[in-house]
Structure 1
Amino acid sequence: MQEPFKAILVTRDENKVQSVETREIGLGDLMDGDVIVEVEATTVNYKDGLAITGKAPVVRHWPMVPGIDCAGTVVQSDHSGFKEGDAVILNGWGVGETHMGAYAGYVRLNGDWLIHRPSGMSAHDAMAIGTAGYTSMLSVMALERYGLTPSSGPIVVTGANGGVGSVAISILSKLGFEVIASTGRTDEAEFLKSLGATEVIDRAELSEPGRPLGKERWAGGVDSVGSHTLANVLAMTRYGGGVAACGLAQGMDLPATVMPFILRGVALLGVDSVMAPKPLREEAWQRLTQDLDLAKLHALSKTIGFDDIIDTAKALIDGKIRGRVVVDMKK
């Protein structure tokens, strides 16, 4: 282990004004945990963008190293489940929010938060998937548990150009589902179709206040947007359909009525990736090795270096990033 090492640190002053900078820190600056991981790759998620820009109160402990995802190698362990040299993945558990995260050379973690990286999956590919792709897989699994199959009908995916949406399209299409992609960037229609979408609609069709019950258009959905978008997705879901809700890019409100639930038997399926139990995480990551086309994953991913994280986080919040971003910590 080399000290010191670079880290991105979010701080705020006595007036609660937030600032972000790159500093050199040491292992003694990290928080408690029984496993130390050398970070090989990480990613920039929407939540990371919020943490760095301060656009939402994501950070709840100061100072904080952001970064909710990492793939790396165990360099020291006092946890019975992990040993030096193990390849591991971290997603969620409040890391990057209340516990120092992945935007550093090393991270000290609770071993219970880690899973072993699936055999044959590189650190780069694991972070091309990241929390966004892992959440997409959890959402698809929720639809499957509810009983939806390709024969049930089309699935709408909102926020289609984002990390969750783009991976969800790829997974669903590989499983044989017809996918309708909703996006604010309709000029990206060909890209979304290359991922497997059969139809692309403008998010304006869903993002404004709509009718309590609309025309039945799809059997289910994966929604990372919330607010009016989720309300309209529910209002247009077919009888007996289900919608997996996993995000709130438009807002955390849900201006809907009970009509889709009591007149059409529609189900709203909540998907949580942050505190999901380990067996569910392991199942999702194993499914990703089978149900996600790596060629499509590479098509929707770009790689940056550590020094590009802050600017990329700002661009992500401004809606200027398509698909997934991988941070190569050695670059």
Structure 2
Amino acid sequence: MASINVTELIITGLFQDPEIQKVCFVLFLPVYLATVLGNGLIVVTISVSKTLHSPMYVFLSSLSLVEIFYSSTVVPKFITDLLAKVKTISLKGCLVQIFFFHFLGVAEILLLVVMAYDRYVAICKPLHYMNIMSRQVCHMLVAGSWLGGLIHSIIQILITIPLPFCGPNVIDHYFCDLQPLFKLACTDTFLEGVIVMANSGLISIISLFILVSSYAIILVSLRNHSAEGRRKALSTCASHIMVVTLFFGPAIFLYLRPSSTFTEDKLVAVFYTVITPMLNPIIYTLRNAEVKNAVRKLWSKKDSETE
């Protein structure tokens, strides 16, 4: 393994203007808190509710848990850096951030695929649903999503660790990611960039193809359902499709193309690291009467206990 001379990296951040950074701090701190509280509320509600134990809610709870961890790998440091004059991170800390960012990001992608499969079975094979989506199968699918993210991230980090970093040490981003870090390596990283593009980009493309195919089959099959059944199924699927669109659009834009210096990359990254994790609980709860009722019962129970 090549020796590493650089031990600390300087992060340029999202904006250079101190006043704009203060405005961003005021905007993004509540967004992060809302992300943690909103997703945490979904996890707690599904865990304690007696009515939300179907496979769909097991997957939703897992997705919300991933969102909390995923957002927390980047956003807390990003927010604190907005008030710092010099934004630094150790090289080891940078590699750790990259590892967990990709681990949790791919785990989320695979969970979205699992949720689409769950809706496909529920709508297209309702009589066999409980046999196909047994508790054991649900747990295996959730574990498989986490394992898939772990394997993906290990591959990414193993091609990064051997790279020599001997200067410069300024990473042109507001958090550590592979392409900005590759630009600092003291060697040609074309091959590593291709591997990253193939690994991250193809996972996104294949998963998106599976998702689109699943929802297309679901929409076609709804023609044989009652009006009430179509309405309920469409409401649930619409929530999933919104989340999929919000997550996959920026991810494909950033990872399914060669390394570039596009200035809009940072703004696109803000969307899927800061904004999307907050929107997911809002999208799912606003369009799901069962979750909303369970949240009301949870809070009314807490209120009665405190009186």
> Is this a same-fold pair by TM over 0.5?
no
More helix per residue: 2
Q: TM-score range by the shorter chain?
A: under 0.3
Larger-Rg structure: 2
More strand per residue: 1
**TM value normalised by structure 2:** 0.26
**TM value normalised by structure 1:** 0.25
